[in-house]
Amino acid sequence: MATSFKALATATLTSTATSITFSSIPQTYTHLWVMGQVGTTYTTGCYMYVRPNNVSTNTYDYQLIYVNTGGITQQSNSDTDKSLGLVELITSTGNSAFTGFEIVYPLYKSGLGNNVWIYNGNTQRTATSNDNRGVWGTASNAETTAITSLVFSLQYGASFDTGTKITLYGLD
Amino acid sequence: MPTNTFEHLGTTVVSGSSTTSIVFSGLSSWTNVIFVGRIAQSSGSTRQMNVNLGGTQAFQNMYASGSSGTGVPNTTRATGAGSCDLTVASVPDGNGVSFKGHLIKQGTSRGYFLWEGGFQKTSSTMDFTVSNAFTPNNVTSVTFGFFGGVLTAGSTISAYGVMI
């Protein structure tokens, strides 16, 4: 049986950029998996967002469980987040504070219910502390369109730092 | 012995409306097994998806629900023999539960199962559950069971074997 975890595309930044786009995603796999290491030049911390198909309307929702020095807590997005069509993923602290993450998109080609994905990320808060986060995102207004592109960006229009690397995988 | 380090073990796609369980067997050769899926149940007021790992020692859940600024993580610990019920949640009509499960069993005495799943709760809200469980080290099959409603056609679970 063939190996079935294939790297479809990798974005590696040799200069800063405000967005990273994976377009023309093949519709030949069952699931998608994204892994990355992300840094930002923004110095006070910002969120990273991902927009399937670059949809920016009022469609997204999430639940977040995270642990930091203050203990464990839960958070969901605000109406403002939804109106922006953005999904909070991780915070970065700027300047070489790279953070790792993974996102799984089950059945990205079809709308069995709405598009929902699973996120795990680790946030470096300071030089000596970090958060663990799990995010659950959904396009809550019947966003069932097949995912053909993914656009990553940062809050405040901040830039991804040089060395940021994100890879998109397809799973049979 | 598997020849690949990451192998697609199979994908089950529900075609009818009578499926109450999905089983993946023949897992003994792998040190890790990853499950990825999306299921929906079309009826029933209480719909759940559970995972039977074939003999359970303990599991714990974290659960997030509600609107911004409300609710707290909910932890649950249960012990006992028999099946390991890692409940995701009830599933509204037509909306899917997406999940990823990771069975790690290269240990010498017991294995471990990490489950992450969530679902769209209403037209504009969703819930999220993280569960982990100790398992026997020699898990050879995993059964996903569905209760309280019938699966919607197209519900899908894939299994991947990983050697590390």
Domain ranges across chain A: 5-171
Length reported for chain B = 164
B15 pLDDT higher than 80: yes
pLDDT of residue A18: 95
Q: A5-171 has which fold?
A: Jelly Rolls (2.60.120)
Query: B120, A5: Cβ pair inside 8 Å?
Result: no
Higher pLDDT, B86 or A103: A103
User: Structure pTM?
Assistant: 0.87
Contact partners, residue B100, CB within 8 Å, separation at least 6: A104, A106, A118, B34, B35, B36, B115, B116, B117
Of B7, B66, B118, the CB nearest to A116: B118
Distance CA A164, CA A16 (A): 9
**Residues 69-128, chain B, touching A (beta carbon < 8 A):** 69, 71-73, 94-100, 116-120, 122-128
Chain A: closest CA distance from residue B108 (Å)? 27
Choosing among 2.40.350, 2.40.390, 1.25.40, 2.60.120, the CATH entry for B6-162 is 2.60.120
End-to-end Cα, chain A, rounded Å = 11
Is residue A115 pLDDT above 60, yes or no? yes
Rounded Cα distance, B139 and B105, in Å: 7
Count the Cβ atoms, other than its own, within 10 Å of residue A41.
Answer: 16
* pLDDT surpassing 60 at residue B68: no
* Per-residue model confidence (pLDDT) at position A95: 47
pLDDT band, residue B124 (cuts 50/70/90): low
Highest mean pLDDT among A83-97, A113-127, B59-73: A113-127
Element (H, E) at A164: none
| Domain ranges (residues) in chain B | 6-162
Grouping H, G, I as helix, E, B as strand and the rest as coil, residue A155 is helix
pLDDT at A76: 73
CB–CB of A136 and B38 under 8 A?
no
Question: Cβ contact (<8 Å) for B156 and A78?
Answer: no
B163 touches chain A (CB under 8 A): no
* pLDDT over 90 percentage in chain B: 14
Residues on chain A touching B40 (C-beta within 8 angstroms): 112-113
Does position A141 have pLDDT exceeding 60, yes or no? no
B32 in reach of chain A (CB within 8 A) = no
- Comparing A18 with B40, which gets the higher pLDDT? A18
**pLDDT at residue A119 in the model:** 79
| Number of CB pairs, chain A paired with chain B, less than 8 A apart | 145
Given CB atoms, is A144 within the 8 Å cutoff of chain B?
A: no
